[in-house]
A and B are shown apart, each in its own frame.
Chain A
Amino acid sequence: MGRWITLTVNGSKRRVEVKDNEILLDVLRDKLKVKSVKAACWRGECGLCSILLNGKLVKSCLVLAVEVDGSEILTVEGLARDGELAPIQRSFIEHGALQCGFCTPAFVLASHKLLEENPSASEDEIKESLSGIVCRCGTYYEIIEAIKDASKHYQVRKKV
């Protein structure tokens, strides 16, 4: 027994039945099978469950599913266009900005959002904006290099 909510997940409309006490993270992973959204701490500390909710980065382990009825959700699955990876995704690959890869979806999504808003972000701004996400393998150096490198593509995109 629950309520039906409608979400736009990575561009497609999805209807799903949820209970009032269900967490958005669980609904995304288990019911909607959006597996890039990772669960690790379940309490807001690690950032691996981050999604773009109506254009804002939030940690989905601290959001109820019922409250986001009618919302738009973007995860890393929705970044590629016509089979082409987004520049930030290519840059992560080129720089080897991962080891186990568990944190990668969150870092890619957060840095994509950062560069769209501020394509000329300084190193300090990059570090500050990603300070809510943890990489347990410690690939921060490569992550930051990947973002700095990808930023030129976003600068071009912002001009056109």
Chain B
Amino acid sequence: MSFGAPYLTLPEFTYHKPKSLKEALQLLNEFRDEAKVMAGGVGLIAFMKERLLAPNHVIDIKDIPELKIIEYRKGEGLKIGATVTMSEIEKHDIVREKYVALHQAVKAGSDPIIKNRATLVGNICEAIPWVDGPVPLIAYNAELEIMSVDNVRRMPVSEFIKGPVEISLEPNEIVTSVYLPDLPPEAKSLFMKFNTGSEFALATLAAYVNDSKKPRDARLVYGAVSTKPVRAYEAEKIILTNKNISEAVILAAEKASKEIDVISDVLATEDYRRHLVKLLTINVLSRIFEVG
């Protein structure tokens, strides 16, 4: 190839573009470890260029009609198919109005041109610790639908992501959709990302409460601080039990910054990340509860 340097080209593989889910699952069942699913390809092609992946077969799922669906049903929630792009999610009215943390996370990610190809499901399957997508999904208790030739199963996003680039997926399985439960009308959720100019977030937070006046259910999920998204369970309890909400916000922020697993790496030290966790928590919760 003309550009010379080896990492600009792709390793050799056979390309498949199945027209139905059944056909895709059969191909995957046949090739297993030898194959990789491709949705937007944004991550896969970059990984192949760097030779982090070199599958013999690439199975492109873009032509499968049922995976292109994004649909909200009252009482059931929002279903986002595996090939729905970030742009389609960002423009979706229900996402903007109801699933605010997801909208903000998608808005804050990559750029509008990348988002015309990148999918949310691909973002989850990459399971890179700093990616944005899984963080709000875990805050909403979202689940994935996963299929193989002979099985359909559901799994919470929080359990699906096991560690850096490690997911709970068999070689013959495809993630077909992500399901977000319907939210009560009083529910509030927000997402905030701290980064210093690059796409690599140093810390993110997605917060969800069922009702900001009478919180009975709260989830605080932190991304980019550890090897996978982490929840601050003790801090959540503080929000639910402390009657003085301004005080609860500060106490929850302090608790969260101490209780969760946090790593040091080339981007930031553990101490710095704990500080960011505190700031993000105060910022996001003050907005949700309209205090301070």
Contact = CB atoms under 8 A, between A and B. Distances in A.
Contact of A129 (B3, B42, B110, B112): B112
A58 B2 CA distance: 22
B68 interface: no
Contacts of A39: 3
A133 interface: yes
Contacts of B112: 57, 128-129, 131-132
A19 B49 CA distance: 15
B45 A23 contact: yes
B52 to A, nearest CB: 12
A59 B113 contact: yes
A143 interface: no
B45 A131 contact: no
A77 interface: no
Contacts of B114: 44, 59, 62, 132
A136 interface: no
Contacts of A67: 15, 17, 41, 60, 62
B64 interface: no
A65 to B, nearest CB: 10
A64 interface: yes
Contacts, number: 79
A47 interface: yes
Contacts of B27: none
B15 to A, nearest CB: 4
Contact of B13 (A20, A29, A30, A47): A20
B111 A42 contact: no
Interface residues of B, number: 27
A42 B8 contact: yes
Q: What does DSSP make chain A's interface, helix, strand, loop or mixed?
A: mixed
Q: What does DSSP make chain B's interface, helix, strand, loop or mixed?
A: loop
Nearest to B57: A20
B14 interface: yes
B29 interface: no
Contact of B113 (A23, A26, A132): A132
B11 A21 contact: yes
A21 B8 contact: no
Interface in A29-86: 29-30, 39, 42-44, 47, 50, 56-59, 61-64, 66-67
Contacts of A115: none
18 contacts: A19-B12, A20-B12, A20-B13, A20-B15, A20-B58, A21-B9, A23-B9, A23-B45, A26-B1, A30-B2, A42-B8, A57-B112, A58-B116, A59-B113, A62-B45, A62-B46, A64-B15, A132-B110
Shortest beta-carbon contacts, A-B, top 7: A132-B111, A132-B113, A20-B15, A21-B10, A66-B15, A62-B45, A131-B111
Interface of A: 19-23, 26, 29-30, 39, 42-44, 47, 50, 56-59, 61-64, 66-67, 110, 128-129, 131-133
